[in-house]
Amino acid sequence: MKVYELKVNHSNTTTLIMKNRDALSSHPIRSDFKEQNLARDWQPAEMQTYKRRKFNEFPYLIPEKPIVSEKVMQILKPHTPTEVEFLPLLHNEFELYMMNVTNILDCVDWQRSEAQWLYEKYFMRFDKLVFDFAKIPKNTYLFKTEELATTKVFVTELFRELIEDYQLPGLDFSVVYDSEFTYTEAEQRMDQGQAVGSGKWRMQFDEEGEFWLGELTLELKYRWGRPVYIPPILLGYSWHEVEKCEIDSFNW
């Protein structure tokens, strides 16, 4: 599984600014977008083009908040009824919507993440952000974390696949958070009772604490054994968590 930071490709996407910015001082658009619901009190705010560029499906707003075209809204809305409010905006050329992502997940892996705190109490920022992918529901498209709810939106592979299926340009998927990990981390997860996999290989401990290595055969069945040593090639593989298998017999 992969998670991406929702980022606009500034170099080829139209940039917007708020029209009559001072008149919008008390408008919800000036809020931190951390509240769960804004639609009830929302009145369409007027945008204007600052720099016109090639793509207009995901315009970039100064200050940065996620905006999509009506086309993108129509594509995303059926998939995100509990994750996003689409708030209408005004523009003299485009039909636009601001996205208020209300799906806030407690999915930070604090054991592997590195954060800075003020007085060991107040969160400041992440130096290294790692997600606990088990806490991200499989049907998730967009979400925020409590710690970064005012500044960042994250999207899943489902979101990226949808965008690519409809060939919607203008996003930058270069900031990736991957659920894969090294062999050393795989050993740590097995010690915690998890099973791990990489390609045709699986590793896990049984109920007696015995280590098992499985190889997927051409018959699509795992051939399990208890090796004397780990094949060195496996040490360089990237691993991910998998469901534990029932090991029927020793068959190496």
Residues 158-192: pLDDT tens digits?
999 999 999 999 999 888 787 778 899 899 989 99
The closest of 221, 215, 220 to 198, measured between CA atoms, is 215
How many angstroms separate the CA atoms of 21 and 169, rounded?
A: 28
Q: What is the mean pLDDT of the chain?
A: 90
pLDDT confidence tier of residue 64, bands split at 50, 70 and 90? confident
Reply yes or no on whether the pLDDT at 48 is more than 80: yes
Q: Contact at 8 Å (CB) between 90 and 43? A: no
79 and 187 together in one domain: no
Together in a domain, 120 and 196:
no
Residue 9 in tokens: 């490709």
Contacts 24+ apart (CB under 8 A), 9-13: 9/55, 9/170, 9/171, 9/172, 10/60, 11/53, 12/53, 12/54, 12/55, 12/169, 12/170, 13/53, 13/54, 13/55, 13/56, 13/58, 13/59, 13/60, 13/170
Gap between the Cα atoms of 98 and 65, Å rounded: 7
Where among 161, 178, 195 does a domain terminate?
A: 178
Residues 169 and 216 in one domain: no
Confidence class for position 22, pLDDT limits 50, 70, 90: confident
* Residue after which a domain boundary falls, among 178, 208, 232: 178
Q: Which domain holds residue 235?
A: 183-242
Q: What is the predicted pLDDT for the residue at 113?
A: 87
- Residues 76 and 56 occupy one common structural domain: yes
Residue 220, pLDDT > 80, answer no
Phi, psi of 5 (to 5 degrees): -80, 135
Instruction: Report which DSSP code applies to 204.
Output: E
**pTM, to two decimals:** 0.73
Are 139 and 205 found together in one domain? no
- 227 prior amide bond cis, ω within 30: no
CA distances from 200 to 53, 193, 228 (A): 46, 20, 19
Judge whether 87 lies within some domain: yes
191 and 86 part of one domain: no
| Same domain, residue pair 126 and 225 | no
- Of 152, 178, 204, the domain-final residue: 178
pLDDT for the residue 1: 74
Q: Is the pLDDT of residue 249 over 60?
A: no
Which residues face 212 on adjacent strands? 204
> Domain for residue 252, yes or no?
no
Domain count, the chain: 2
The reply to whether 23 falls in a domain is yes
Clarify whether residues 80 and 189 are in a common domain.
no
Question: Is-contact 82 121, C-beta < 8 A?
Answer: no
Whether residues 225 and 172 share a domain: the answer is: no
Residue 249: inside a domain: no
